[in-house]
Structure 1
Amino acid sequence: MLYQDLPFLERIAAASADGFSGIEFLGAYDQDVHQVRAATVSAGLQQVLFNIPSGNWAAGERGIACLPDRVEEFRAGVADAVEHARILHCPLVNILAGKVPDDLDLDTALDTLADNVGFAARALAPLGVTVLLEAVNTRDVPGFALPTTAHAAALLSRVAAPNTGLQFDVYHAQVMHGDLLTTFHRHREATRHVQIADNPGRHEPGTGEVNYTFLLPALEAAGYDGFIGAEYVPTDAGTAWLRQYTAVPEPAH
């Protein structure tokens, strides 16, 4: 979501120059994955996460994993994700559940999703990759199959695969229910990755109502020591927020 004014590969170096130590993206399936790996290594960054192919993004799809008529397509995407995870040395792969159509029974959608998550977990286990699920708020994405952290956690409990976990997105959680730290503590053991943005607007930390001065140290105090992904819509303020909330030095450029 950041550096949209740059060609894809140039965004990697820009992230490094701004002080980030890792990168994540929805997917780079239209890129030469070996070039992506080379750019990441050259920039001194860790490839932290990417998504399994999520359907036609431009047409408004936000995942296909809950759709019974798209199982073959989803599983072909898993094969692509396995290859990308291997080349990129990426430890986390995220699944977007997708929106439940009005003519699809929710139980059927969740059964399909559970089967697909289990399939992905088995396919990625030999690489030591953890498969993540995240909740997405229904204000931004009406009809999303997993609207709250509790829904995502319940689905993972059904799958019961050792290499699965939660992606805790602070923005989506704030929109749906707030009570962020309590929610995080409730699902701490399952959480493998955290993403942040402020609300309203989904902009950088410090632009809205979420008290990141409190929340970020509290996550660390709770024992979370993984990466935190900056998944927000940038304003013209740039990445100055990094130096407000972290020990990142001034950018090199």
Structure 2
Amino acid sequence: MTRIAANLSMLFTDAPFLDRFDRAGAAGFDTVEFLFPYDHPIDVVKTRLDRNGLRLSLINAPAGDWTAGERGFAARPSKRAEFRASVEQAITYATGLGCPRIHVMSGITAGEPDRAACEAVWTENLREAADMAASAGLFISIEPLNSRDVPGYFIAHQDPTLALIQGLDRRNVLLQFDVYHTQIMDGDIIRRIERLKGAYGHVQIAGVPDRHEPDTGELNYAEIFAAFDRTGFDGPLGCEYNPRGRTEDGLGWAAPYLRTPA
């Protein structure tokens, strides 16, 4: 049965971050995800989750100076210390917020040494992060990002990313299947969902090509939802899209999956 989660870094953005929890709860979501909660104390964020009956499915580890274009550290040999500190902080927050999964971003590797050096440091960093997360009972999520939106990102295609993950030999590191990024870079969505069953631990959705609501653009999300259901995937699908207007006004497509009508 399809379940969805509101990405509070992209939905309800006409409100301050802490007010978005109330908006998500009122709209009928029972689960949320977001990128970076680190500007707010854990107890404050936990209170917002609890008072709205919300579960938290995913956070990102700190990824550097976002406004300056940084997108994580895992594959950047020059950022080893920053990487470990980011994972430590993310584990503290995930544990305190009852979140089972951390998206660890690989980074834009322009200006770093050759690809082999980046792969080597990525592997070493992710093994360390996986072991740290496992000690806390957490999973690590690895997501390829499309090269149109994030040029120079270390991983852009699913199959090479999966090969890197498998090379880690860590059971708590799984692929993050973002339908938007995957359609742009790889396509063949339905067969990928079926073929990669068991390899992904988190899923995100958006319309393609403009990253608006899932009922816009070139993809048939009824078929995509059915494909995930057939695989037995039971995690929430993260709504990581840019609403065309007020978030609530674009939730008609989501009505069957919400606690209350949008």
Structure 2, gaps ≥5 residues long: 1-9
**SS of alignment partner, residue 65 of structure 1:** coil
Work out the CA distance in 1 between the residues paired with 2:138 and 2:157: 24
1:160 to 157, 162, 169: 169
1:249 paired to 2:260:
yes
Partner of 2:197: 188
Tell me how far apart the structure 2 counterparts of residues 148 and 223 of structure 1 sit (CA, whole Å): 24
Q: Which amino acid aligns with 1:61?
A: E
How far the C-alpha of 1:91 sits from its partner, in A, is 0.4
Paired amino acid for 1:213: A
Aligned-partner residue type, residue 214 of structure 1? E
Find the partner of 1:219 among 220, 223, 228.
Answer: 228
1:7 aligns with 2:16: yes
Q: Indicate which of 76, 85, 88 corresponds to 1:79.
A: 88
Gaps of 5+ in 1: none
Paired position in structure 1 for 2:155: 146
Question: Does structure 2 retain, via aligned residues, the 8 Å contact 1:206–1:212?
Answer: yes
SS in 1 for 2:260: coil
Match of 1:229 in 2: 238
Output the CA distance in 1 between the equivalents of 2:233 and 2:95: 25
* Cα distance, 1:164 vs structure 2: 1.0
Aligned twin of 2:210: 201
State the structure with bigger RCO (CA 8 A, min sep 6), 1 or 2.
2
SS class of match (1:132) = strand
The alignment yields a C-alpha RMSD, in angstroms, of: 1.3
1:19 counterpart = 2:36? no
Amino acid in the other structure paired with 1:44? G
Aligned to 1:174: 183
Is the 2:76–2:112 contact (alpha carbons within 8 Å) kept by the matching residues of 1? no
1:5 shift after superposition: 1.2
Distance in 2 separating the partners of 1:249 and 1:210: 26
TM-score by length of 2: 0.92
**TM-score, normalization: structure 1?**
0.95
Distance in 2 of aligned mates of 1:223 and 1:14 = 30
The corresponding residue for 2:7 is: none
Rounded Cα–Cα distance in structure 2 between residues aligned with 1:249 and 1:30: 30
Deviations 1:134-187 (A, max 9, x none): 110001111111101112211111111111111100000000021001112222
- Contact 2:180-2:205 within 8 A present in 1 as well: yes
CA distance in 2 between counterparts of 1:82 and 1:62 reads: 18
How much does 1:238 deviate? 2.6
Q: Percent identity?
A: 38
